[in-house]
Amino acid sequence: MDPLKAEAWVLGIEKLFGVFPCLETQKVQLATFTLEDKARRWWILIRDADKGIDWCICDRKVLEFEGLKQGNMTVAEYEAKFIELARFAPHMVDTDYKKARKFENGLRSDILERVNVLKLPTYVDVLD
């Protein structure tokens, strides 16, 4: 997650919107068309979130998110799983502070010890 890369993407999209006036729905289509890699996978998950997902599956995913721990995953793998499951429990990550604490508390103890003492306020800070 590179804030500078994200900002460059937003500026590029806004530049396109300045040249090609379009409706809000068209803006969403144009912006999402340009997404790549992790951002593209994230968008597909968000877009398809409400399309016929079984409530039992949703409940299982909430429970999985509640118990999510890094374990043997790398931080990048843990982050990907965290983002994937967080959409099923938006109430648990509806503020940046709550998201940061939830992510932090799932880290392996050796990493958590180093991060916890810093008292980092935001999710991006904890992730970095």
Q: H or E segment at 6?
A: helix 3-19
Per-residue model confidence as pLDDT tens digits over 29-43: 888 898 888 888 878
Least confident segment among 32-36, 38-42, 49-53, 61-65: 49-53
Burial class (CB in 10 A: 0-12, 13-18, 19+), 24: exposed
Over range 64-93, report the average pLDDT: 94
Domain ranges of the chain: 3-47, 55-127
Over range 55-80, report the average pLDDT: 92
The pLDDT of residue 74 is 95
Per-residue model confidence as pLDDT tens digits over 88-111: 898 899 899 999 999 999 999 999
Q: Residue 68: how many CB atoms within 10 A of its CB?
A: 20
* Mean of the per-residue pLDDT values of the chain: 88
